[in-house]
Amino acid sequence: MYHLQHFLRSVCLTALLIALSACNAESSARITPLPTLPPNLTRTPTLTLPPLSTLAAQLPTLAATATPLENQLPFGGARAMALATDTALQPTPRSPIAFDQFPVAIKFDEFYSGYSIRQGLLLSDKLVSLDGKRVMIEGYMAPPLKPELDYFVLTRIQLSFCPFCSTAADWPDDIALVYMPEASPVQATDRPIRLYGTLEVGMNMDAETGMFSLVRIYAERMEIIN
Amino acid sequence: MRSFGQKVSRAMSLLGVAILIAALVSAALPMQRTFAADALPVLILPVDKAQFLPGARFDFRVEVHAEALPENFKVTVNGEDPSTLFNAQPTTEQWKFGRNETPSTSLIWRGLSAPQPGDYTVEVTAGATVKRVTWTVRQPLPGNAKNVILFIGDGLSVAAVTAARALSRGVREGLSNDKFVFENFEALGLVSTSSVDSIMADSANTASALNTGHIGSVNATGSYSDTSPDTLDDPRVETFAQMIKRTRGMAVGSVTTADLSDATPAAVWAHGRDRRDLNRNTYLTQVLDENIGIDVLMGGGARRFIPKAVEGSRRADERDVFAEYETAGYAVVTTRTEMNAALANNPQKMLGIFHPSDLSVWLDRNVFTDNLGQFTDQPGLVDMTVAALEILKQNPNGFYLQVEAASVDKQMHPFDIERALADLIELERSIAATMDWLRENGKLDETLILVTADHAHGFDVYGTVDTAKFDAGTTDLERREAIRVYNAALYPTYEDKDGDFFPDDWAPSIVFAWGVNNFPDHSEDFRVSRTPRVPARCQNVGEGDAAKVVCANNPDDDPNGIVMNGNLSPSTGSGVHTLQDVPVYGTGPGAERLPVSNHQREVFFVMAGAIGLDLTAPDGKVVAATAAPEQQISVAGFSLPAELSGVFFLVVGLALGFAVSRRKVAA
């Protein structure tokens, strides 16, 4: 019974994630790296439309994997994929900020400087300046898909529902995709957590789930805050 | 950890065992093939007792829950082959649904209409099943209204109106100092709100009932819910807006304080079974893709208009919907300032989107402005309504405008009562502004105005609370002593000295004691909340079969409040809709047809009758000569209802008979 339910849930999840990702579903677990994008597609936080739409038009051509029923990548595989592919879309800050020391503490409410009705969220200079730098950030693990994780979604507030698991649930804007080191996956927790790692900013699609993320953290370690 | 290959081989072996078991079981049972003797489940959509206007477009689906149609399968409508009767060919579709992978084989005829009034009995024979449903095509009613305005207070109940009126106008020695403008209307009816699939109601199918005359299932808009996996292919019914657009060339507007793709505003034009995320995005593009022609669209939900790749987007595709609306000729505005500036150019069409999600409520826009964030230039419902009227009035054929005060409901759910009631008062102000505008534009006498709710919440006032005494209490028992009922309640101390129709101070010393009839575990201090309320917090608990959601009192919400032990399922974190009938207030031509009590789908027929809508006539109007015999009879210039005409003739007959017999006696 448990297996059947698990299977049904996985099927639902698969459908959801495929819908979320607009990815070209392929039955195999083949991973194709993102092709190098032409320099005119480099994203900056102050870009005016339509470059983003142009970029958007190109994204579906990037071959993605079908969402697997179970994690088909080895632990750390998603991290390696993301590291390999997300540098192409690095934004540049309007007024770069220099930091005295690393890691720099950054909070979720420092991610965005505002929201433009027509252009969506506007990235803050602090967030963009920290692209590629070591940071410390606190938040909550979004209710995950499985107990042992090599990547998860970090949220500002504790989410009551797993947005992966329900079509009605919405991801909040304040999220970051966290990749744990290959060798040290973590156990799921509902406690607040603190992460140290390297921040990456720029639109990227997760190779495994097809989930779009703007902010990623390649974590070195995670602490549970009591 | 097992490798992927190992997992596959394990899965294959499990599958093999399953097939073996299935084979053994099926060998032991009689053959599960479709025989004429089998009673097969049959679903017929539209459902029994559905009502239509002649010429209204609809899709007709028959589902047989079997792998194939049985040999004796037959569909008739009034004894005829529907393909002949409606002059349309069906499409055969198959799918599986539900946990048990139930097969469904279906025929669907799309874009039908029944031009002749009368009853249409559908009979489906499938195996041993014979299922009948009867649809009624009603006579179109004559009417001279040129415009229709439908105000929907989402979640507005009579109790909410009473409480909001007391807050806004005050009550002194039993008498309200003033009425709400719609309480001076000449007609009032009560309507029930239940759904096809549930006795309870949801904003999607209830707003759809108002806009189509068809009841529908929870979460469905402009369609009857089938069992197919596609939530956008369900059999459709035409909306009032679509009807008046194609036959009368009228202008149409939908204005809301919610995300524009939300159930109520989208019910004006949208078709889909599931009001949730992906369908909501589709509803916004249906306007353009299906050329539905909604002239004015105003509300929130910007994140559903920007391409998926833009941060903050909620779309699942790369469409820049703002740009598409602009290309289609809409003036696109994103602030109140932009809206007013654009109006100066007399645009024919306008898309106003003023917030990433739902618009901020009146109380946050006017009192607790810290909650607005950067969105300090949002229009209110009054601004949007008048702006919409200014655009719609340019169409010489008249207009239909639906205006929704969405946050009465949205704030009732978390018991944020002051925010809900302030938005109800704002709705009343919008109706007052509309009446003024119609008067100034000479349109008051040619416009039907209806004010109703899609469904209610279980809210009512039962006394007052002495807040000083409440705060002095250290236990719940002591705090409860501050709650005063019957004659001890006296009067609350809300005041409106500045004459803006809203209380000057939302936290006076004596406030309403109010309750709702359903709630999760939460605490309540009866006081206005500076930030929007979150009465309960929910958690995922357990894993696998034991996984569930449990909601509990949020310690940060009303920490000084009385603890209320929930009477809802622990998985429900806020209040839910309730069953009570809701009011429909009406004024203008056609309002006299409001029912005393009926299902809310009747509101659609009242709107259609007000403008004399006849979809089968060349100009879409009921022609006077062939007008439906109204339930009235005219004698010597006096109009009498049919029920009274019998009495009239009886009296006349008796009088004549009496006179004749007297003459005979006299002779």
| Residue B76 CB coordination number (10 Å) | 15
pLDDT band for B526, please (50, 70, 90 cuts): very high
What's the pLDDT tens digit per position in A36-72? Answer: 434 443 333 333 333 444 444 444 433 333 333 345 6
A57 and B318 within 8 Å at the Cβ level: the answer is yes
pLDDT exceeds cutoff 90 at A15: no
A2-6, B410-414, B583-587, range with the lowest pLDDT: A2-6
The percentage of residues in chain A with a pLDDT greater than 90, rounded to a whole number, is 20
Query: In CATH, what number does B42-137 get?
Result: 2.60.40
Q: Which of A119, A160, A167 sits opposite B310 (nearest CB)?
A: A119
pLDDT on residue B663: 53
B277 — contact with chain A (CB < 8 Å)? yes
Q: Chain A neighbours among B 349-378 (CB < 8 Å)?
A: 353-356, 374-375
Q: Which two tokens stand for residue A114?
A: 């505002």
Q: Chain A neighbours among B 566-585 (CB < 8 Å)?
A: 573
Contacts of B317 in chain A (CB under 8 A): 22
Do B556 and B540 touch, CB atoms closer than 8 A?
no
Q: Which of B309, B374, B540 sits opposite A143 (nearest CB)?
A: B540
B302 and A117 within 8 Å at the Cβ level: the answer is yes
The contacts of residue B15 (CB under 8 Å, 6+ apart) are none
pLDDT band for A75, please (50, 70, 90 cuts): confident
Closest-CA distance of chain A to residue B444, Å: 36
pLDDT exceeds cutoff 70 at B345: yes
Q: Which of A56, A75, A214 sits opposite B307 (nearest CB)?
A: A56
State the residue range of the domain holding A135: 2-224
pLDDT on residue B518: 97
Q: Which of B306, B287, B388, B315 is nearest to B347 (CA)?
A: B388
Q: Which of B4, B316, B355 sits opposite A19 (nearest CB)?
A: B316
pLDDT exceeds cutoff 60 at B299: yes
The contacts of residue B658 (CB under 8 Å, 6+ apart) are none
pLDDT on residue B626: 47
Selected residue of B17, B305, B311 to mutate for chain A interface (largest A Cβ count, 10 A): B311
The contacts of residue B261 (CB under 8 Å, 6+ apart) are B280, B281, B283, B284, B301, B304
A173 and B312 within 8 Å at the Cβ level: the answer is yes
| Domain CATH number, residue A27 | 2.40.50.140
pLDDT exceeds cutoff 60 at B380: yes
| Interval A208-214 mean pLDDT | 74
pLDDT on residue B302: 96
Q: Which of A29, A115, A160 sits opposite B538 (nearest CB)?
A: A160
Contacts of A20 in chain B (CB under 8 A): 316
Class of domain B147-458+581-610: alpha beta
- Asked whether the bond before A50 is cis by omega within 30 degrees of 0, the reply is yes
Conformation bin of residue B149: beta by default, left when phi > 0, alpha when psi is -120 to 50: beta
B498 — contact with chain A (CB < 8 Å)? no
Residues in chain A whose Cβ is within 8 Å of chain B: 1-2, 5-6, 8, 19-20, 22, 29, 49-50, 52-53, 55-57, 59-60, 70, 72, 75, 114-115, 117-121, 123, 143, 147, 160-162, 167-168, 170, 173, 190, 203, 212, 214
Domain B42-137 identical in fold to domain B147-458+581-610? no
Closest-CA distance of chain B to residue A10, Å: 12
pLDDT exceeds cutoff 90 at B293: yes
A147 and B309 within 8 Å at the Cβ level: the answer is no
pLDDT band for A87, please (50, 70, 90 cuts): low
Do B141 and B608 touch, CB atoms closer than 8 A?
yes
- Cα–chain-centroid distance for residue B217? 11
pLDDT on residue A185: 79
Query: Least CA distance to A48: which residue of chain B?
Result: B310
The position carrying tokens 């903050």 is B312
B7 — contact with chain A (CB < 8 Å)? yes
Q: Which of B4, B99, B307 sits opposite A53 (nearest CB)?
A: B307
pLDDT on residue A121: 85
Report the complex ipTM: 0.72
What's the pLDDT tens digit per position in B12-30? Answer: 555 555 554 554 444 444 4
Query: Least CA distance to B332: which residue of chain A?
Result: A118
pLDDT on residue B19: 52
pLDDT band for B547, please (50, 70, 90 cuts): confident
Contacts of B309 in chain A (CB under 8 A): 52-53, 55-56, 59, 203, 212
What is the rounded CA–CA span in Å between residue B407 and residue B360? 9
3-state secondary structure of B342: helix
Contacts of A46 in chain B (CB under 8 A): none
pLDDT exceeds cutoff 60 at B31: no
First-residue to last-residue Cα distance in chain A = 37
3-state secondary structure of B31: coil
3-state secondary structure of B624: coil
Q: Which of B276, B303, B540 sits opposite A168 (nearest CB)?
A: B276
| Interval A154-172 mean pLDDT | 66
What's the pLDDT tens digit per position in B76-108? Answer: 999 999 999 999 999 999 999 999 999 999 999
pLDDT band for B35, please (50, 70, 90 cuts): low
pLDDT on residue B638: 47
Q: Which of B288, B509, B293 is nearest to B392 (CA)?
A: B293
B592 — contact with chain A (CB < 8 Å)? no
3-state secondary structure of B243: helix
**How many domains are contained in chain A?**
1
A53 and B374 within 8 Å at the Cβ level: the answer is no
What's the pLDDT tens digit per position in B604-625? Answer: 999 999 999 999 999 999 986 5
A80-94, B16-30, B385-399, B479-493, range with the lowest pLDDT: B16-30
What's the pLDDT tens digit per position in B152-199? Answer: 999 999 999 999 999 999 999 999 999 999 999 999 999 999 999 999
Contacts of B539 in chain A (CB under 8 A): 160, 190
| Interval B460-476 mean pLDDT | 97
A118 and B309 within 8 Å at the Cβ level: the answer is no
Query: Least CA distance to A118: which residue of chain B?
Result: B306
Q: Which two tokens stand for residue A80?
A: 């390696």
Cα atoms found within 13 Å of the Cα of residue B272, Cβ hemisphere only = 27
pLDDT band for B277, please (50, 70, 90 cuts): low
- Asked whether the bond before B559 is cis by omega within 30 degrees of 0, the reply is no
The contacts of residue B2 (CB under 8 Å, 6+ apart) are B10
The percentage of residues in chain B with a pLDDT greater than 90, rounded to a whole number, is 83
A19 and B320 within 8 Å at the Cβ level: the answer is no
pLDDT exceeds cutoff 70 at B395: yes
B164-173, B297-306, B335-344, B619-628, range with the lowest pLDDT: B619-628
Considering only residues A76 and A124, tell me which one the structure prediction assigns the higher pLDDT: A124
B544 and A168 within 8 Å at the Cβ level: the answer is no
| Residue B406 CB coordination number (10 Å) | 29
The contacts of residue B3 (CB under 8 Å, 6+ apart) are none
The percentage of residues in chain B with a pLDDT greater than 70, rounded to a whole number, is 87
Mean pLDDT of chain B: 90
Considering only residues B603 and A78, tell me which one the structure prediction assigns the higher pLDDT: B603
pLDDT on residue B658: 57
Q: Which of B282, B289, B354 is nearest to B327 (CA)?
A: B289
pLDDT exceeds cutoff 80 at A28: no
A119 and B353 within 8 Å at the Cβ level: the answer is no
Considering only residues B162 and B550, tell me which one the structure prediction assigns the higher pLDDT: B162
pLDDT on residue B37: 67
Residue/partner pairs of A81-84 with CB below 8 Å, 24 or more apart: A81/A31, A81/A33, A81/A206, A81/A207, A81/A208, A82/A177, A82/A179, A82/A200, A82/A204, A82/A206, A82/A207, A82/A216, A82/A218, A83/A179, A83/A218, A84/A33
Do A73 and A208 touch, CB atoms closer than 8 A?
yes
Domain segments of chain B: what residues? 1-32, 42-137, 147-458+581-610, 461-516, 536-573, 632-666
pLDDT on residue B621: 95
B108 — contact with chain A (CB < 8 Å)? no
Considering only residues A145 and B111, tell me which one the structure prediction assigns the higher pLDDT: B111
Selected residue of B280, B310, B317, B550 to mutate for chain A interface (largest A Cβ count, 10 A): B310
- Asked whether the bond before A103 is cis by omega within 30 degrees of 0, the reply is yes
The contacts of residue B624 (CB under 8 Å, 6+ apart) are B142
DSSP symbol at A76: T
3-state secondary structure of B635: strand
Q: Edge to edge, what strands does the sheet with B42-45 contain?
A: B42-45, B58-64, B102-112, B91-97
pLDDT exceeds cutoff 60 at B201: yes
pLDDT on residue A198: 93
State whether the Cα torsion A160-A164-A166-A168 is positive or negative: positive
CB pairs under 8 A between A and B: 96
Degrees, nearest 5: CA angle A209-A214-A217:
80
What's the pLDDT tens digit per position in B124-146? Answer: 999 999 999 999 999 999 999 99
The contacts of residue B652 (CB under 8 Å, 6+ apart) are none
A29 and B4 within 8 Å at the Cβ level: the answer is yes
B544 and A173 within 8 Å at the Cβ level: the answer is no
pLDDT band for B218, please (50, 70, 90 cuts): very high
Q: Chain A neighbours among B 515-554 (CB < 8 Å)?
A: 537-540, 543-545, 549, 551
